[in-house]
Amino acid sequence: MSKQIFLIGFMGVGKTYLGEKLAVKLNLDFHDIDREIEKKAKLSVNDIFKLKGEKTFRDIESKILLNWNISGIISTGGGIVELKENIEFLKTKQTIWLNPSWQIIRSRILNSYRPLVLDRSEEELFKLWEQREELYRECTEIEFTNSNLDELLELLSDM
Protein backbone atom coordinates (compact mmCIF):
# COMPACT_ATOMS: atom_id res chain seq x y z
CA MET A 1 0.00 0.00 0.00
CA SER A 2 1.27 3.50 -0.70
CA LYS A 3 1.70 6.32 1.76
CA GLN A 4 -0.48 6.61 4.89
CA ILE A 5 -0.09 9.53 7.31
CA PHE A 6 -2.25 9.46 10.45
CA LEU A 7 -3.19 12.71 12.20
CA ILE A 8 -3.83 12.21 15.90
CA GLY A 9 -4.64 14.42 18.89
CA PHE A 10 -7.39 15.57 21.21
CA MET A 11 -10.73 16.98 20.02
CA GLY A 12 -10.43 20.45 18.54
CA VAL A 13 -6.76 20.37 17.61
CA GLY A 14 -7.55 20.77 13.90
CA LYS A 15 -6.90 17.29 12.48
CA THR A 16 -9.61 17.57 9.85
CA TYR A 17 -8.84 21.18 8.92
CA LEU A 18 -5.13 20.50 8.54
CA GLY A 19 -5.60 17.07 6.98
CA GLU A 20 -7.83 18.31 4.18
CA LYS A 21 -5.47 21.13 3.28
CA LEU A 22 -2.32 19.03 3.59
CA ALA A 23 -3.78 16.35 1.34
CA VAL A 24 -4.37 18.95 -1.38
CA LYS A 25 -0.81 20.31 -1.01
CA LEU A 26 0.78 16.86 -1.10
CA ASN A 27 -1.58 15.58 -3.78
CA LEU A 28 -2.83 12.77 -1.55
CA ASP A 29 -6.34 11.59 -0.70
CA PHE A 30 -7.93 12.69 2.57
CA HIS A 31 -9.90 10.30 4.80
CA ASP A 32 -11.65 10.91 8.09
CA ILE A 33 -12.37 7.99 10.41
CA ASP A 34 -15.35 9.75 12.05
CA ARG A 35 -17.00 10.24 8.66
CA GLU A 36 -16.37 6.58 7.77
CA ILE A 37 -17.93 5.49 11.09
CA GLU A 38 -21.01 7.57 10.26
CA LYS A 39 -21.20 6.00 6.81
CA LYS A 40 -20.92 2.46 8.20
CA ALA A 41 -23.37 3.02 11.06
CA LYS A 42 -25.71 5.21 8.99
CA LEU A 43 -25.90 7.46 12.05
CA SER A 44 -24.13 10.62 13.14
CA VAL A 45 -21.35 10.33 15.73
CA ASN A 46 -23.66 11.97 18.28
CA ASP A 47 -26.46 9.51 17.55
CA ILE A 48 -24.14 6.51 17.81
CA PHE A 49 -23.09 7.66 21.29
CA LYS A 50 -26.69 8.40 22.25
CA LEU A 51 -28.40 5.32 20.82
CA LYS A 52 -25.69 2.64 20.91
CA GLY A 53 -23.21 3.86 23.51
CA GLU A 54 -19.51 4.65 23.52
CA LYS A 55 -18.41 0.98 23.45
CA THR A 56 -20.13 0.40 20.11
CA PHE A 57 -18.57 3.59 18.76
CA ARG A 58 -15.09 2.43 19.88
CA ASP A 59 -15.59 -1.00 18.28
CA ILE A 60 -16.52 0.48 14.91
CA GLU A 61 -13.71 3.05 15.16
CA SER A 62 -11.12 0.37 15.86
CA LYS A 63 -12.34 -1.97 13.10
CA ILE A 64 -12.01 0.85 10.59
CA LEU A 65 -8.56 1.91 11.82
CA LEU A 66 -7.15 -1.62 11.74
CA ASN A 67 -8.68 -2.72 8.45
CA TRP A 68 -9.09 0.32 6.26
CA ASN A 69 -7.15 -0.38 3.12
CA ILE A 70 -6.59 3.15 1.87
CA SER A 71 -3.73 5.53 1.37
CA GLY A 72 -3.36 9.25 1.99
CA ILE A 73 -3.85 11.50 5.00
CA ILE A 74 -6.10 9.90 7.62
CA SER A 75 -7.68 11.98 10.36
CA THR A 76 -8.50 10.03 13.53
CA GLY A 77 -10.95 10.88 16.33
CA GLY A 78 -9.50 12.13 19.62
CA GLY A 79 -10.41 8.88 21.37
CA ILE A 80 -8.54 6.60 18.98
CA VAL A 81 -6.01 6.01 21.78
CA GLU A 82 -8.70 4.62 24.11
CA LEU A 83 -7.97 1.09 22.85
CA LYS A 84 -4.57 -0.54 23.33
CA GLU A 85 -4.72 -2.34 19.98
CA ASN A 86 -5.16 1.00 18.22
CA ILE A 87 -2.06 2.36 19.94
CA GLU A 88 -0.06 -0.72 18.95
CA PHE A 89 -1.21 -0.30 15.34
CA LEU A 90 -0.43 3.42 15.22
CA LYS A 91 3.06 2.79 16.61
CA THR A 92 3.88 1.03 13.36
CA LYS A 93 2.62 3.92 11.19
CA GLN A 94 3.63 7.40 10.22
CA THR A 95 1.81 9.63 12.72
CA ILE A 96 1.59 13.35 13.37
CA TRP A 97 0.33 14.50 16.78
CA LEU A 98 -1.23 17.94 16.95
CA ASN A 99 -0.70 18.99 20.55
CA PRO A 100 -1.49 22.66 21.22
CA SER A 101 -2.04 23.95 24.77
CA TRP A 102 -5.15 23.14 26.83
CA GLN A 103 -6.19 26.81 26.60
CA ILE A 104 -6.37 26.58 22.81
CA ILE A 105 -8.19 23.24 22.85
CA ARG A 106 -10.61 24.47 25.50
CA SER A 107 -11.55 27.52 23.46
CA ARG A 108 -12.19 25.37 20.41
CA ILE A 109 -14.28 22.62 21.98
CA LEU A 110 -16.30 24.08 24.83
CA ASN A 111 -19.14 25.29 22.65
CA SER A 112 -19.10 22.34 20.28
CA TYR A 113 -21.67 19.57 20.00
CA ARG A 114 -19.31 16.64 20.42
CA PRO A 115 -20.89 13.90 22.57
CA LEU A 116 -18.04 13.80 25.08
CA VAL A 117 -18.14 17.57 25.48
CA LEU A 118 -21.91 17.64 26.02
CA ASP A 119 -21.54 14.96 28.72
CA ARG A 120 -18.67 16.40 30.76
CA SER A 121 -17.72 19.40 32.85
CA GLU A 122 -14.71 21.48 31.88
CA GLU A 123 -12.72 19.91 34.69
CA GLU A 124 -13.55 16.40 33.50
CA LEU A 125 -12.51 17.31 29.96
CA PHE A 126 -9.24 18.70 31.25
CA LYS A 127 -8.59 15.41 33.10
CA LEU A 128 -9.37 13.41 29.97
CA TRP A 129 -6.92 15.55 28.01
CA GLU A 130 -4.25 14.97 30.67
CA GLN A 131 -4.87 11.21 30.70
CA ARG A 132 -4.67 10.89 26.97
CA GLU A 133 -1.49 12.90 26.60
CA GLU A 134 0.83 9.98 27.36
CA LEU A 135 -1.20 7.71 25.09
CA TYR A 136 -0.79 10.05 22.12
CA ARG A 137 2.90 10.31 22.96
CA GLU A 138 3.22 6.50 22.89
CA CYS A 139 2.21 6.27 19.27
CA THR A 140 3.64 9.51 17.92
CA GLU A 141 6.34 9.95 15.38
CA ILE A 142 6.21 13.75 15.04
CA GLU A 143 4.66 16.14 17.59
CA PHE A 144 3.61 19.74 16.93
CA THR A 145 2.66 22.11 19.72
CA ASN A 146 2.13 25.08 17.42
CA SER A 147 -1.58 25.96 17.34
CA ASN A 148 -1.33 27.94 14.11
CA LEU A 149 -2.62 25.41 11.60
CA ASP A 150 -1.71 27.46 8.54
CA GLU A 151 1.90 27.70 9.73
CA LEU A 152 1.90 23.96 10.33
CA LEU A 153 0.55 23.40 6.86
CA GLU A 154 3.45 25.32 5.34
CA LEU A 155 5.94 23.44 7.48
CA LEU A 156 4.53 20.02 6.63
CA SER A 157 4.18 20.79 2.93
CA ASP A 158 7.95 21.25 2.76
CA MET A 159 8.85 18.03 4.58
Residues of this chain, 129-148, that bind ligand S3P according to CB under 6 A: none
Q: Is the dihedral of CA 8, 12, 16, 19 positive or negative?
A: negative
- Residue 19 corresponds to which amino acid? G
| Number of residues this chain uses to bind ligand S3P (CB under 6 A) | 10
Does residue 100 interact with ligand S3P by CB under 6 A?
A: no
Measured from the CB atom, the residue of 112 and 157 that comes closer to ligand S3P is: 112
Does residue 116 interact with ligand S3P by CB under 6 A?
A: yes
Which one of residues 100, 114, 140, 156 is an interface residue with ligand S3P (CB under 6 A)? 114
Measured from the CB atom, the residue of 131 and 157 that comes closer to ligand S3P is: 131
Contacts 24+ apart (CB under 8 A), 16-24: 16/75, 17/149, 18/98, 18/149, 18/152, 18/153, 18/156, 19/73, 19/74, 19/75, 21/149, 21/153, 22/73, 22/153, 22/156, 22/157, 23/72, 23/73
Measured from the CB atom, the residue of 3 and 35 that comes closer to ligand S3P is: 35
Q: Which residues bind ligand S3P (CB under 6 A)?
A: 11, 15, 34, 45, 77-79, 114-116
